[in-house]
Structures are given as structure tokens and as C-alpha cells.
Structure 1
């Protein structure tokens, strides 16, 4: 009997030794199974996983990834360290600029350099360069509404000059001396009462002169190649325009002398003239040769299509022979 029990025990040990070993992962599953834990990912019974389940509360573990072995972590500065380094660099740059501060010196920028070819000095109005006070664009200088009491120094490269709505009272010969490229001057609405007689005559390229809304009593001599003259709203009166002032201007196109208390039409006028504005003056009569040639009945002044005489004490119907050569009847009273 004892022998049979020993043999049975050895048989059981052999069977147990021959059975497969249980792994830890299987033991954990057995544990979950024993505790009745539901591992179904989708409670509806579908085998697919619902992507949006729990997406509002993601569980992110920070710092679990190890850095790449090929990259030195010391080369990666934090965002705060980078910002501090940039600020420090900017601070050193500003301090260096302050140490090397250079005073502004007016200078002439050469034409064709891509910048304004006009004057950046000499000093004008409170020691400021002309183009620091005014706006300079290539050959044009704009000095409008700056309370100027005189014409500022201009570069020899200046072609157009605007100084409207200032307080300039006098134009001297030296204001525009040696400006051989100057084509246009606009001094509208200043307090100009005096102009030197040769202030503009020495400007060979001058084509347009605008002196509106000033207190000018005498129109100065002008260069012969003018195309536009506007001296409206001044005080020229009966003696403010020189005799035959516009006779030798073969290219004159526009002559505006409105509101000046003028008592006559300033003849002779060049054949090139297109527009003549003399409204609101004191003109009382015209002569036969004012616009036409009484000795040549075939003469026609084709260019002069715009003549304004309204606002004058003249009756145009009394002197039709004075403008019979014009393509259009002047504007004015016919009764």
C-alpha cells in the first residue's frame, strides 16, 4: 500500500512539472477577470473604438519621452532664455548707437541716387534744413502752410516750388537766383506786397507763375517763355501791369488777372493765348484791335476760346467788331 502511494505521488509531480508556466500578463488578466472588470471599449457592443470618447479631457503624460541621442540638450535654450538674450542684444545695440550719435548735417543729395535731388540744407527757418522743414520729392519742394516769412534756400536742382498759405511779404532777387531749372512757382495766399523787378526775369526755364491772393501792386518783368500767369486777387489797378507786358511771350497759353481793379485789357496779347480771365475788374470798353486786326478782315484768332469779362462795367454788344475774329463770344454783359 505504501509503495502504491509513492508511485502515485511521483506521477502527480511529473504531470505538474510538464504543464506550461503562467506569465505575469496572463495572471493580471485573470485578476481583472476575477474582479469582474469590463474591458469592452464600446458599451454599445460594436467592436470599433469611438475616437471622440473622452477627447475633452485628454490625459497627457509630460516628460516621458527621452531626448534624441544625436542632439545635445545643451543647445536648446528655453523660450525665456532666448527672449532675454534678444533683449540684451537690442539693449547693447541702442547703447552703441547712443555712444556713436552723429549730428545731422545738411547736405545736397546728388540727382540720380534714388533719393531727392533737392536741398537738404543750408539751414532755413530756425536752423532746420529746407527739406527737413518742407517736403522734397525729386525736383519738387513743398512748403505749404508752414508760417514761412521768406522763401527758404533752394537747391539748383529744384524744378517746382510750392509755398502756399504762408506769411511771405516780399520776393527778392536773391530768392530764386541761379535756379536755372525752376519751371513752376506757386506762392498762392501769402502776404506778398513787393516783388523786385528782376526777381523772376533771370529764370530761363520758368513757365508757370502763380501769385494768387496776395497784395501785389506791381507785376514784375517776366521771362519770355511763360505758359501760365495767374495773378488773380491782387491790387494791380490801372498801373500795376507794364505796357506790352505780354507781347513777347509766344508760348503764353493762360493769363488770369481776376479781381484786380484793372480798367483795361492788357494788349497786345500773343496769338498763342487760349484763356484770358479778367472778370470782376473795372474794364469799361474795348477797342477794335483788342483781339482782332482791323486791317486784315480775314484774320481769325483761333486759339483764344475762353475770354471772361463778366463782372465788369462793359457792354459787349456795343463793340462787336472788337471780338468778331474770336471763335467764341466773350463771357460778359450784352445788355
Structure 2
């Protein structure tokens, strides 16, 4: 039976490989005459016999064929000016950090005032101007370094110390009207290189310290200012001074010499008893005319102007209060 199966397999293989058909007579495959008729099916007569041992060595049952070789594409040439758009992953959002105010350092908010509040929270700070009107201040608060105009009217400030305006090199105007100021530090204003206006009306000032030569407007009305409390020739070097208000004080003479730039001089309601011929005019030059000074008020003083006709002969207008 085994021989029959082998013969049948050979016949099938022979048909697959194009070999001529074998004799299908069953007698030809009888085991008894197999040796006798061995020439009947000689595989060698149809070509080289297939080596099944080699087949077993070359093909292993159950072995998966290797994957096909992958052909790499040629490298891509990228132009030099090529810019690739890259989509970045979304950023992680962090909780916003709230700004903090440095009340102890320099800058807009400055240190703490006498009331325990930062200056620019207690007052109003706008573009270099600091407004502290009617806020119950008892002293000058620390000011931002870029302050140009300072208003602290109608408070309870009693004095101005030398250090109150220290290093405020841009300060041009100080308005302390309507306080209770009795004393002014001797160096309180001299260190201000751009100061032009000083308004101290309605206070209790008894002495006026030195002022910078840059002054244009000085208002010390309704104080307790005495002639002995003013610097001798204190206004002489103020080449730009135009307005000088000294009414309602205790002055007993007109402070001079007065700069040529002066336009308004109010001295009413003082204790002025005499006039000097050189107070307004130049006794050595009879042709001298003081053109700028057009508004002088001496009413309310005990001075008899009729005794000093040469004192105002150079003026374009007579002082208010003189008899007609």
C-alpha cells in the first residue's frame, strides 16, 4: 500500500512538472513485479530527480516568510529660504499675578504720610500735580519725585520743614493757602531749582525765608509777616518776578529794591509809614520810567504820600490810596 501511495505521488508530481503520463495499468504497480518492471517508471528517465531532503532543509513548516525589503525614498532637498510652519501645543494658562504697590520705595505712591496712608491714595496725583486740598493734613506729605505742582490748601499744616521739599527738582508751584503755618524752614525753598510760584496766603507766617531767583509769583497775604522777618534785598535778584502780594501783614516799610519785571505790588493794610525815593524810581535819573509796574496798592497804611512826591514820579500810574 505504501508503494502505491508513493507511485501515485510521483505521478502527480510528474504531471505538475510536465512529465509524460504514466501507465495507469494497475498491474504495472504490482509489488511482485516491481523489481522486474522497474524500468516501467524510472524517474531518472524524465530528468533529474527532486531531492526532498533539500526541500525539507529549505522550507520549514510553520515559518512565516520575511517581510519585503522597504526601499528608502531619496533624500528631500530643502531650499535655504524654506520656513516650515509649526503648530505649537496650546500654552498652559496660569492664574494672573495681581500687582503689588510698593509704598515704601520711591515713585508715584511714595512712602507713608502722617495719616498712615500713601500720599497718592490720600491725595490725587495727575501728571506731576498732587492735589491734597482739604484732607486734614497736619504736615507736608512725602511727594513723588516727579511732582511739578503741589496743592495742599485748607488743611491743618503748622510748619514747613527744610526737608519737606528735598530733591524735588521739578517742583514749580507750591500752594499752601488756608493752613495754620507759623514757621518756615530757612532752607525749605532755596533748594528748588525750578520753583516759580509760592502761595502762602491766610496763614500765620511771621518770617519769610530766602527764595530762589526763579520766582515769578509770591503770595503771602493775610499773615503776620514783619519787615524784620524778611531778607534784606530778598527780591532783588528775581529777574522774572511779576506778582508780589504782601497785603494784610505787619510790614512797616516796602521791601526793596524791586526787580524791573514786577507788574503787581499789593501792600494795603500794613503799617507802612514812609516811602523812599528809590523804592520805585531812580533819583539819579529823572528820565527813568518804570513801565511794567502798573498796579500798586498802598491803601490802608498810615503813610502820607503827599510827603514823598518823587517816590512814584516814574510810575505810569499812581498808587491806589493816594489822594487825588
Partner of 2:275: 286
Output aligned runs, 1:83-232, within 5 Å.
104-106=101-103, 119-232=108-221
Distance 2:198 2:208 in 1: 11
Aligned-residue RMSD, C-alpha: 1.9
Output aligned runs, 1:290-329, within 5 Å.
290-329=279-318
Distance 1:275 1:232 in 2: 13
Q: Secondary structure at the match of 1:239?
A: helix
One of 235, 256, 272 as aligned partner of 1:246 = 235
Distance 2:116 2:156 in 1: 18
CA deviation profile, 1:166-208 (whole Å, cap 9, x unmatched): 1111111110000000000000111111111110001000000
Matched, 1:260 2:257: no
Q: Secondary structure at the match of 2:265?
A: strand
Q: Secondary structure at the match of 2:252?
A: coil
Partner of 1:272: 261
- Segments of 5+ residues of structure 2 without an aligned counterpart are 1-94
Question: How much does 1:302 deviate?
Answer: 0.3
Question: How much does 1:286 deviate?
Answer: 0.7
Distance 1:273 1:195 in 2: 24
Question: How much does 1:300 deviate?
Answer: 0.5
Distance 1:241 1:104 in 2: 43
Point out the structure with the larger helix share.
1
CA deviation profile, 1:300-319 (whole Å, cap 9, x unmatched): 10000000101111222321
Distance 1:140 1:147 in 2: 19
Partner of 1:64: none
TM-score (norm 2): 0.68
Distance 2:256 2:99 in 1: 59
Distance 2:101 2:193 in 1: 34
Instruction: Answer with 1 or 2: which has the greater Rg.
Output: 2
Distance 2:161 2:227 in 1: 24
TM-score (norm 1): 0.65
Distance 1:205 1:162 in 2: 16
Q: Secondary structure at the match of 2:163?
A: helix
- Segments of 5+ residues of structure 1 without an aligned counterpart are 1-95, 110-117
Distance 2:266 2:148 in 1: 26
Question: How much does 1:101 deviate?
Answer: 7.3
Question: How much does 1:104 deviate?
Answer: 4.7
Distance 1:101 1:297 in 2: 73
- Does the CA contact (< 8 Å) of 1:182 and 1:205 recur in 2? yes
Distance 1:196 1:105 in 2: 30
Structure-2 change in CA distance of 1:124 and 1:233 (3 Å): same
Distance 1:153 1:119 in 2: 10
